[in-house]
Amino acid sequence: MANILVTGGAGYIGSHTCLEILNAGHSVIVLDNLSNSSEEALLRVQELTAKSLTFVEGDIRDASALDQVFAAHQIDAVIHFAGLKAVGESQQIPLTYFDNNIAGSISLVQAMERAEVFHLVFSSSATVYGESNPSPYQENMPLGMPTNNYGYTKLIVEQMLEKLSLADERWSIALLRYFNPIGAHKSGRIGEDPQGIPNNLMPFITQVAVGRREKLSIFGQDYATQDGTCERDYIHVVDLAKAHLLALDHRLKSKGCRAWNIGTGQPISVLQMKNTFEKVNDRKIPFEFVERRFGDLASFYADSTRAQTELGWIAKYSLEDMLVDSWNWQKQNPEGYKK
């Protein structure tokens, strides 16, 4: 049994990962400033697992708050989800993203070093592959320059952690490169609850389905893909959460810094997403084609062979499961976690 600090643990992926960690018999301490989440998610995680966790409301940029957490708990490893992730917003307020995501990550690893905790799993993103790599993306490909400031923060933190592990052999770091997480826990009690107008496709579709949004705008229909709309590698958030447990176990037994792609390897188009959602959930999604969104790539998807062979991880849930579970969460929680 290990004591795991989960930064950003009240968020979408963090809450699903906390549930899996608790069910695996570990203890969980969550540090989250609730800037994009609700404590309700953590209350429900405890309800679902019938286990308790420790929640500390705080910021990863607050060195004293971090030192207090490490002093109060015998932390064995850290899973680092805390960060801002809205691509469009990152173009408007880059300094906020650099401070929160880059300086925040530096603050966290400095506190880890002071506490002599050197096992870390970092939430990275397929965006670090940039624009020119061919799909399926492989971890040993040269990284590119992301098209947005958010993706840039992920690239910088990855490279910083790589250099840190080369300079100090005590570090054991996993870089998990997520593709497109969607879905929710089967119970429908926890799920994705974006603040304001959703940037991402899945929550937009479910908000149309539940009547919060009038119709879906499909950004572009003239891409060089099977049906002209963009293709992405969608991964069930529970499959993604389980990958963190496997990465944690791997890192508790090894040193150095290593990246793993977490995706299904199946490119799915926007139209396929809409049509499959309508079919499996029997809900019509009104839509219109509009112009392309700046920065979107036509198609990218993962080669996750390394995660399969080294972590023993494989995606278990189908696209249909993801779409059913996304809708199950949204229809039970039309306004998300708001009462």
Q: How far is CA 311 from CA 126, 159, 163, 255, 261, in A?
A: 18, 22, 23, 15, 11
Can residue 105 be called a binding residue for ligand WQD (CB under 6 A)? Answer: no
Tokens of 117: 């905790």
Residue whose CB is less far from ligand WQD, 63 or 298: 298
Whole-number Å distance between alpha carbons of 31 and 53: 11
Residues 171-190 close enough to bind ligand NAD by CB under 6 A: 178, 180-181
Can residue 177 be called a binding residue for ligand WQD (CB under 6 A)? Answer: no
- For residue 160, give the H/E element and its range: helix 149-167
Pick the catalytic residue: 129, 137, 150, 178?
150
Task: Name the segment binding ligand WQD (CB under 6 A); options: 8-16, 163-171, 199-207, 247-255.
Answer: 199-207
Residue nearest to ligand NAD (CB): 11
- For residue 79, give the H/E element and its range: strand 77-80
Residue whose CB is less far from ligand NAD, 33 or 269: 33
Q: How far is CA 208 from CA 44, 86, 152, in A?
A: 25, 20, 31
Residue whose CB is less far from ligand NAD, 43 or 289: 43
Can residue 137 be called a binding residue for ligand NAD (CB under 6 A)? Answer: no
Can residue 201 be called a binding residue for ligand WQD (CB under 6 A)? Answer: yes
148: left (phi over 0), alpha (psi -120 to 50) or beta: beta
Tokens of 61: 């940029």
Tokens of 168: 């100090």
36's contact among ligand NAD, ligand WQD, none, with CB below 5 to 8 A by partner kind, is ligand NAD
- Tell me, yes or no, if 301 is annotated catalytic: no
3-state secondary structure of 222: coil
Binding site for ligand NAD (CB under 6 A): 7-8, 10-14, 32-37, 59-61, 81-85, 100, 104, 123, 125, 178, 180-181
**What are the catalytic residues?**
150
